[in-house]
């Protein structure tokens, strides 16, 4: 059993993300979903359970946290790690090896198990999780979804009593999310205790036993999944919560640009380490269009985006802007990319400084306006690396608005974002669209696509088999593309 008794915690030098007199009991074998706005304290709860607080994150802590009768604050980390396994939002932060086999075995190696037992544990994890195709691979060559599978497998091999997952679906496509759901179902059937901090709620509605809604460091409500699904959409959205049933979401449909194409790509072929990623891709886009780029993890979406921005060299084909060829240098000048892992592009000492970092003659009024739009003003003096994952994402998105480039490219811009933040990013992209930009959004987020995009480009098996207009009439096609089962709404459409 996990017990938090009147726990209060505040991070050193920060006001957000802490807890205030929180009490929570989680029974053995229970699956509990923690949800709420970014900064409400979800991740802090998981850090208290796995011992990262107080052993790694400093701050003021009061109250008692116990896991299976162990007082976390008085138990060595290695003992906690034997009982509690953690899968973080960004699996890269928990890797210690360069190959997948060594990473799966890393945790159990540290338990000094006999070599034969170690081998059996790795084989069992491989078979149970169906990841034979990931064995013997280079960690750095895996997609985001594949890295998440290896991180989960490493924890699974240790066979902990408690699994903690922090935004595990944030960078996964729908197919991999379905696999994650089955992995969670497997460990639940084994009687494991599961605690998940998550913004994407829909895939957990048939798994969670209880939903705990946090607000400003306190428990503001507890629900069964059925009770949460019964909350009207407007009320749920006012709580900062994402959709509980994707089949109920309909594409809004943005205005299609009627001008002649500003950007044209002809016969684009992309390679990575002599392997062809995409072949013979051609498209046209007009100013004001928002193009969603979708496909399974590893389909080439990010490589395409990097080539579009002049960051990927190994490619053939032609890029044109207003009919004029654009080499890599010109594409670099004309575009700006918000990376999937925004930690790679945060350099300044404060959020406010980051929003104008490297920009010639930045407009202070635009910087202030953009921070306000994205809810970043309260954090303007914070160091970017002290922010939550969702807050960091918003900072990178803010820079894309301020830099004034013609082709903004967003790689998973809603990763780790709550409903409010997703709405803010959607509003910002709409504003960029109104300014005549050509915008590309690499995403697995169906909810975001329906609210934001005018077209969807589908990459699969090295090709682009789909270019679909986002509209209510194409709702069924889009749901099929995102592997969302048809519900009553789809039947009504037919």
HEC per residue, 286-354: CCCCEEEEECCCCCCHHHHHHHHCCCCCCEEEEEEECCEECCHHHHHHHEEEECCCHHHHCCCCCHHHH
Number of structural domains the chain divides into: 2
The reported pLDDT for the residue numbered 340 is 76
pLDDT in tens, 39-82: 899 999 999 999 999 999 989 999 999 999 899 999 998 899 88
The reported pLDDT for the residue numbered 362 is 87
> Within a domain: residue 253?
no
CB under 8 Å to 386, separation ≥6 — which residues?
11, 13, 14
Residues 303 and 231 in one domain: no
Residues 315 and 236 in one domain: no
How far is 217 from 165, CA to CA, in rounded Å?
19
Beta carbons within 10 angstroms of residue 160's beta carbon: 21
pLDDT of residue 321 exceeding 90: yes
pLDDT in tens, 89-144: 878 788 989 999 999 999 888 888 888 999 999 999 999 999 999 999 999 888 77
Three-state DSSP class for residue 477: helix
Residues 224 and 279 in one domain: no
Q: HSE on the CB side for 262, CA within 13 Å?
A: 15
pLDDT in tens, 90-105: 787 889 899 999 999 9
pLDDT tier at 257 (50, 70, 90 boundaries)?
A: low
Contact call for residues 397 and 339 (beta carbons, < 8 A): no
The reported pLDDT for the residue numbered 486 is 66
Residues 349 and 395 in one domain: yes
pLDDT tier at 253 (50, 70, 90 boundaries)?
A: low
The mean predicted confidence, pLDDT, of the chain is: 90
Contact call for residues 84 and 52 (beta carbons, < 8 A): no
Residues 386 and 468 in one domain: yes
Contact call for residues 299 and 459 (beta carbons, < 8 A): yes
Give me the phi and psi of 365, to 5 degrees please.
Answer: -65, -40
pLDDT tier at 16 (50, 70, 90 boundaries)?
A: low
pLDDT of residue 88 exceeding 60: yes
> Within a domain: residue 250?
no
pLDDT tier at 214 (50, 70, 90 boundaries)?
A: very high
pLDDT in tens, 398-447: 888 888 889 999 988 888 788 998 888 888 888 889 889 999 999 999 99
The reported pLDDT for the residue numbered 240 is 94
Residues 9 and 55 in one domain: yes
- The structure tokens 């009490």 sit at 23
> Within a domain: residue 424?
yes
Contact call for residues 394 and 425 (beta carbons, < 8 A): yes
Domain boundary (189, 209, 244) is at 244
The reported pLDDT for the residue numbered 176 is 85
Domain that holds residue 464: 263-493
CATH code for position 47: 3.40.50.300
Domain boundary (182, 215, 244) is at 244
Contact call for residues 68 and 83 (beta carbons, < 8 A): yes
Residues 286 and 368 in one domain: yes
Residues 291 and 373 in one domain: yes
> Within a domain: residue 255?
no
pLDDT of residue 313 exceeding 80: yes
How far is 470 from 414, CA to CA, in rounded Å?
18
| Lookup: tokens for 408 | 């903004």
> Within a domain: residue 396?
yes
Contact call for residues 463 and 491 (beta carbons, < 8 A): no
How far is 385 from 355, CA to CA, in rounded Å?
14
> Within a domain: residue 249?
no
The reported pLDDT for the residue numbered 489 is 43
- What DSSP string runs through 350-366? SHHHHTTTT-SS--HHH
pLDDT tier at 258 (50, 70, 90 boundaries)?
A: low
pLDDT of residue 84 exceeding 50: yes
The reported pLDDT for the residue numbered 289 is 94
How far is 470 from 475, CA to CA, in rounded Å?
8
Residues 234 and 269 in one domain: no
Residues 267 and 333 in one domain: yes
Domain boundary (211, 244, 277) is at 244
| Lookup: tokens for 208 | 């969670």
Residues 151 and 290 in one domain: no
> Within a domain: residue 254?
no
CB under 8 Å to 459, separation ≥6 — which residues?
278, 293, 294, 295, 299, 300, 301, 304
Residues 89 and 36 in one domain: yes
> Within a domain: residue 58?
yes
């Amino acid at each position: 059993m996990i017990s938090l008794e009147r726990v209060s915690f505040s991070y050193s030098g920060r006001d957000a993300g802490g807890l205030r007199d929180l009490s929570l009991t989680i029974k053995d074998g229970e699956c509990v979903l923690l949800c709420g706005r970014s900064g409400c304290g979800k991740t802090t709860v998981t850090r208290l359970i796995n011992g990262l607080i107080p052993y790694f994150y400093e701050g003021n802590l009061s109250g008692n946290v116990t896991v299976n009768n162990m007082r976390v604050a008085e138990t060595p980390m290695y003992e906690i790690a034997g009982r509690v396994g953690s899968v973080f939002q960004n699996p890269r932060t928990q890797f210690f090896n360069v190959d997948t086999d060594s990473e799966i075995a890393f945790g159990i190696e540290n338990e000094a198990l006999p070599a034969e037992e170690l081998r059996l544990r790795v084989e069992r994890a491989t078979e149970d999780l169906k990841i034979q195709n990931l064995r013997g691979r280079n960690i750095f060559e895996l997609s985001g979804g594949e890295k998440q599978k290896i991180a989960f497998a490493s924890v699974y091999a240790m066979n902990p009593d408690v699994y903690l997952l922090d935004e595990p679906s944030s960078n996964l496509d729908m197919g991999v999310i379905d696999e994650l759901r089955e992995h969670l179902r497997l460990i639940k059937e084994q009687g494991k205790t599961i605690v998940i901090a998550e913004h994407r709620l829909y895939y957990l509605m048939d798994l969670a036993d209880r939903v705990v809604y946090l607000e400003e460091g306190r428990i503001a409500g507890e629900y069964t999944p059925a009770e949460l699904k019964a909350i009207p959409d407007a009320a749920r959205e006012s709580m900062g919560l994402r959709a509980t049933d994707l089949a109920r979401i309909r594409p809004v449909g943005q205005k299609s640009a009627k001008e002649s194409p500003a950007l044209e790509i002809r016969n684009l072929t992309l390679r990575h380490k002599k392997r062809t990623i995409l072949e013979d891709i051609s498209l046209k886009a007009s100013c004001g269009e928002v193009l969603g780029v979708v496909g399974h993890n590893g389909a080439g979406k990010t490589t395409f985006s990097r080539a579009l921005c002049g960051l990927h060299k190994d490619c053939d084909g032609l890029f044109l802007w207003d009919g004029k060829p654009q080499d890599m240098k010109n594409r670099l000048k004309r575009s700006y990319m918000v990376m999937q892992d925004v930690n790679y592009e945060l350099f300044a000492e404060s959020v406010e400084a980051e929003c104008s970092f490297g920009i010639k003659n930045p407009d202070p009024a635009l910087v202030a306006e953009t921070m306000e739009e994205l809810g970043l003003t309260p954090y303007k003096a914070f160091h970017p690396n002290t922010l939550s994952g969702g807050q960091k994402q918003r900072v990178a998105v803010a820079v894309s608005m301020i830099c004034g480039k013609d082709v903004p490219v967003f790689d998973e811009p809603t990763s780790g974002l709550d409903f409010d933040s997703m709405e803010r990013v959607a509003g910002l992209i709409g504003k960029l669209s109104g300014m005549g930009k050509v915008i590309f959004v690499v995403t697995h987020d169906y909810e975001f696509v329906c609210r934001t995009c005018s077209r969807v480009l589908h990459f699969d098996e090295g090709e682009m088999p789909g270019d679909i207009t986002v509209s209510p009439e194409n709702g069924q096609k889009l749901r099929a593309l995102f592997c969302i089962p048809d519900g009553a709404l789809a039947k009504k459409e037919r």
